Amino acid sequence: MTQMQPPPAPGPGTSTFQPPPFYGVQPDRPWSGAAITAFVSSLLACCPVIHVIVALICGFIGIANTSGGRAKGRALAILAIPISLLAGAGEGFLGYVYYRMFQGMMGMPIQAAKIFDASSDQLDENATAFYEKWASADLKSTVSSDEFRAWAKAVQEKTGRLVEANLEGLQPGVNAPPAGAQEVIIPMNLNAKFINGDYIVSTDIFMNPVNFPDMLSLNDMTIADLNLRDFGGRGESREGGDAGDGESAEGGDESSGGKP
């Protein structure tokens, strides 16, 4: 029989150290799919609200999956949570801005028409309340509150009381602002039914984001071919006209010997 030969004795300068076997070495850890999904979802803005919910759920799942070093991506899962919360807060703010814009653009023409949904005794009160709330600074510098009420009375005399006003026929648009102005002019036309017939309530709305949340204001309005800005300055002209009429009346009295 062939006998096993013992290993040769180490020669001079030969080391006898043998490295110990490696025990407990883990194979390369996989990436956590939930952590990656959470981080990517937190950065997506194409699906508002949904991506925030997905990022939060997957972020917490990713943290659980990566605990104890079982998988890679723990930092991504942790980062996804504050990023998604910040994104959700930003989207919520923008949503509120759009809501205020929509509320103003849709509601202002209807409220303008509803100035006339009252008797002549209540018309002044409705017109004053609308003027104080919605009139732009530029409109107030041109048309006073008294002139606004005079315009409202002239409109009601022509159209009668309001019967119905709704969003049907509402036609928004955008015009270029005047030179040097920061506002954007949004014309809105609303079909409204009055006692004397159907008329278009045509409004020019100023939108100035600097004045958030009250970024919308009325700059002009026309109903039944009666333009609001045409009444600007009529208070002064009426006062002058009254004085002229008084002088002419006095002159008439003198020429007629003071007889009525």
Assess whether pLDDT exceeds 70 at residue 229.
yes
Q: Residue 58: how many CA atoms within 13 Å on its side-chain side?
A: 25
pLDDT digits (tens, 9 = 90+) for 92-105: 877 776 676 666 66
**What pTM, to 2 d.p., does this model score?**
0.55
**Any idea where the domains of the chain sit in the sequence?**
33-96, 117-238
Per-residue model confidence (pLDDT) at position 260: 32
Per-residue model confidence (pLDDT) at position 257: 36
State in words which class domain 117-238 has: alpha beta
Per-residue model confidence (pLDDT) at position 28: 77
In whole angstroms, give the CA distance from residue 125 to residue 119.
10
Among candidates 120, 194, 184, 207, which has minimal Cα distance to 162?
A: 194
Q: Where are the beta strands (DSSP E) in the chain?
A: 162-165, 171-172, 184-194, 197-207, 216-223, 226-227
In whole angstroms, give the CA distance from residue 221 to residue 248.
36
Percent of the chain with pLDDT over 70: 67
Per-residue model confidence (pLDDT) at position 61: 92
